[in-house]
A and B are shown apart, each in its own frame.
With several copies, the nearest count.
Chain A
Amino acid sequence: MKKYTDSGKKDTRSGFGAGLTELGKTNPDVVALCADLTGSLKMDDFKANHPERFFQVGIAEANMMGIAAGMTIGGKIPFTGTFANFSTGRVYDQIRQSIAYSDKNVKICASHAGVTLGEDGATHQILEDIGLMKMLPGMTVINTCDYNQTKAATLAIAEHHGPVYLRFGRPKVANFTSEDQNFEIGKAVTLQQGNDVTIVATGHLVWEALQAAETLNDSGISAEVINIHTIKPLDDKAIIGSVKKTGCVVTAEEHNFLGGLGESVARVLAEQHPTPQEFVATQDTFGESGTPEQLMDKYGLNAEAIIKAVHKVIGRK
């Protein structure tokens, strides 16, 4: 078993902030837009270093998406920043028409996704954004797992031409991927090799999946863990390849089990290799206030829930 160590808890949004700071220095075409959440999105550095390339749009997310689309005309690469709910559901039609259908090179960067946003509660905790964005033709959808990966992804999406949705979060979580990683859009990362079950996890659930795999290993179950940071385009091959070996799969995401990663995997399997699958995800409920840990626990989004799902799905082989 590979050993992964937490180099010190950090929030993924700070990984975004660090990536944006770096892009500010290295790529003069990068511009940043924010809808009155500069601090929450960790965009202060970029703002301070490049005031002329930072655009405060106030509390007007629809306008922000339109402006970002327009800014690409003439060669800018706009990064928009607000909470995940206001980055997607609030502005779906604007993204659809002015960005996705118009094929504009806009990077939609979304913090505070999922229940781990915590105390603000359900109105802010979107659990549908992966589904929303994955349905848009031409959109790339990424959900990173830790600080280092979020920073690497931020740098990578600037190089990729086309609309991107980059999803990250608020709480401090384990930082375990390598600092100097090369982020390959659309390429799944197999973190653990295993034979008994495949765990396909994204975002904050990847670390939980690794913890689960360790515990499972102790009880003699060998779990393959795939970090599926890119939900669209989905790395079908990696998933199918693994599932053919293990014969069952658990998907894990901080998202409603309807419409998200889990259903994408179910579809790929139904088309290519029908397989028992369990879904670690929220069960079609809104979230609520609480600490991130309490909510992960209550809504079944942690290593324990993954372990339970693994036992169940292995029993179904």
Chain B
Amino acid sequence: MPFVPLSECLIFGTEKTTLMPDLSYLEDLIVQVRRDILRQVHKVNSGHPGGSLGCTEFFVALYQVIMDRKDSFEMDGKGEDLFFLSNGHISPVFYSVLARSGYFPIEELNTFRLIDSRLQGHPTTHEGLPGIRVASGSLGQGISVAIGAAQTKKLNNDDHLIYALCGDGELQEGQNWEAIMYAAANEIDNLIVTVDRNGQQIDGPTDKVLPMGNLKAKFEAFGWTVIELDNGNDLKAVIEGLNTAKSETGKGKPVCVLMTTIMGNGVDFMMHTHDWHGKAPNDEQLEIGLAQNPETLGDY
């Protein structure tokens, strides 16, 4: 189902070498996803563009290159890799990439946050949207859910991987540390948790709101393998980082990718600030944002 089938991909950072993924296509997709994000939130004047834009490369890499996914969606997800979004507020990027990876019609992005829509403000299973396996939005719960799915994979002798994404501010929630402690203690080594380290949360930079110190040291003290992905907005770097993470699975430890991103990436006035965490652009701002990201694969 990926536009760039896995078999044709160069798996960076591992011994398996296959063909080079069509990076130029993926770069086009990234720009198109940015447009989708802006247009979704603009239309309903609500939603979360900042974190979504910062994680665009990650989602594209994950769904187009990294994950071994099936063509059709089944809740049980047997025999494929699964992804869980813990920081559910960045639904715009999730929806765009899901739609553009074939899970549901791209035009449905038009219904984002509207009443009676399957595209709820925060992702939910409740409306039956393909691609979503658990609701999120209330922060701090996704890693636990991902661990459960990973343990079921082990019980089922299914050697596919579980991926999860969470925010950096989100890691202030204690449930994460319960989960982080548990995963190490139980050697959940089919799990890759990426942290969107954009250094921002709602009330300001994470360092001002509640300085979290050295995240790498924290995860390591909790027994995880940590991979630092310093340029989370460089597609190649993201693919490499996630492949490195993959190569660290199966070694008795859960794997954490600390992915440094720029909040609002790709729209200059949204970048490097928490201001656009949960605010939609007005008409004029939308125009500027779209101009900076010209249509590539076709708007919905």
Q: Note whether A and B contact each other (Cβ less than 8 A).
A: yes
Q: Are A69 and B114 in contact (CB under 8 A)?
A: no
Q: Are A97 and B137 in contact (CB under 8 A)?
A: yes
User: Which residue on A lies nearest to B84, using beta carbons?
Assistant: A70
A101-B124, A123-B137, A124-B138 in contact; A57/B148 too (CB < 8 A)?
no
Q: Interface extent on A, as a size class?
A: 35 or more
B132-173 to A contact mask, C-beta < 8 Å, 1/0: 011111111111111111111101101000000000011011
A34-46 to B contact mask, C-beta < 8 Å, 1/0: 1011111000000
User: Which residue on B lies nearest to A104, using beta carbons?
Assistant: B134
A76-B155, A101-B124 in contact; A60/B202 too (CB < 8 A)?
no
Which residue of B135, B138, B151, B186 is within 8 Å of A70 (Cβ)? B151
Q: Are B115 and A295 in contact (CB under 8 A)?
A: yes
A286 adjacent to chain B (CB < 8 Å):
yes
Q: Are A60 and B174 in contact (CB under 8 A)?
A: yes
Q: List B residues 165-190 near A (Cβ within 8 Å).
A: 169-170, 172-175, 178-179, 181-182, 185-186
A149 adjacent to chain B (CB < 8 Å):
no
Q: Which of B78, B151, B181 has the most CB of A within 10 A?
A: B151
Which residue of A34, A38, A73 is within 8 Å of B133 (Cβ)? A73
B122 adjacent to chain A (CB < 8 Å):
yes
CA distance A174 to B147 in the complex (A): 41
Q: Are A56 and B121 in contact (CB under 8 A)?
A: no
Q: List A residues 23-68 near B (Cβ within 8 Å).
A: 31, 34, 36-40, 52-53, 55-60, 62-68
A60-B181, A288-B120 in contact; A71/B149 too (CB < 8 A)?
yes
What residues of A have a CB within 8 angstroms of the CB of B185 in the complex? 58
CA distance A61 to B209 in the complex (A): 14
Minimum CB–CB distance from B105 to chain A (whole Å) comes to 18
A58-B172, A59-B140 in contact; A74/B135 too (CB < 8 A)?
no
User: Which residue on B lies nearest to A43, using beta carbons?
Assistant: B203
Q: Are B125 and A103 in contact (CB under 8 A)?
A: yes
Q: Interface extent on B, as a size class?
A: 35 or more
User: Which residue on B lies nearest to A118, using beta carbons?
Assistant: B46
What residues of B have a CB within 8 angstroms of the CB of A86 in the complex? 138
CA distance A86 to B203 in the complex (A): 16
User: Which residue on A lies nearest to B176, using beta carbons?
Assistant: A63
What residues of B have a CB within 8 angstroms of the CB of A291 in the complex? 115
A90 adjacent to chain B (CB < 8 Å):
yes
CA distance A72 to B144 in the complex (A): 13
Q: Are B138 and A90 in contact (CB under 8 A)?
A: yes
Q: Are A123 and B135 in contact (CB under 8 A)?
A: yes
Which residue of A36, A37, A71, A118 is within 8 Å of B148 (Cβ)? A71
Which residue of A75, A102, A122 is within 8 Å of B134 (Cβ)? A102
Minimum CB–CB distance from A41 to chain B (whole Å) comes to 10
What residues of B have a CB within 8 angstroms of the CB of A69 in the complex? 134, 144-145, 148
Q: Are A124 and B182 in contact (CB under 8 A)?
A: no
Q: Are A71 and B178 in contact (CB under 8 A)?
A: no
CA distance A55 to B188 in the complex (A): 13
What residues of B have a CB within 8 angstroms of the CB of A34 in the complex? 203
What residues of A have a CB within 8 angstroms of the CB of B134 in the complex? 69-70, 73, 98, 102, 104
B44 adjacent to chain A (CB < 8 Å):
yes
**Inter-chain contact total with CB atoms closer than 8 Å:** 214
CA distance A295 to B142 in the complex (A): 28
A284 adjacent to chain B (CB < 8 Å):
no
A36-B203, A121-B124, A124-B122 in contact; A56/B210 too (CB < 8 A)?
yes
What residues of A have a CB within 8 angstroms of the CB of B102 in the complex? none
What residues of A have a CB within 8 angstroms of the CB of B115 in the complex? 288-291, 294-295, 298
User: Which residue on A lies nearest to B155, using beta carbons?
Assistant: A76
User: Which residue on A lies nearest to B48, using beta carbons?
Assistant: A120
Q: Are A73 and B76 in contact (CB under 8 A)?
A: yes
B47 adjacent to chain A (CB < 8 Å):
yes
The 15 sampled A-B contact pairs (Cβ below 8 Å) are A37-B202, A40-B202, A55-B186, A57-B210, A59-B172, A60-B175, A63-B174, A67-B145, A73-B149, A76-B152, A97-B135, A102-B124, A122-B124, A122-B135, A290-B115
Chain B residues near A (Cβ < 8 Å): 44, 46-47, 75-78, 82, 84, 88, 113-117, 119-122, 124-127, 133-153, 155-156, 158, 169-170, 172-175, 178-179, 181-182, 185-186, 201-203, 209-210
Which are the 4 A-B pairs with shortest beta-carbon distances?
A70-B148, A66-B144, A58-B210, A123-B137
Q: Other CB < 8 Å A-B pairs besides A59-B170, A69-B145, A97-B141, 10 of them?
A: A69-B134, A70-B150, A74-B156, A94-B141, A98-B135, A121-B120, A121-B122, A123-B137, A123-B138, A289-B117
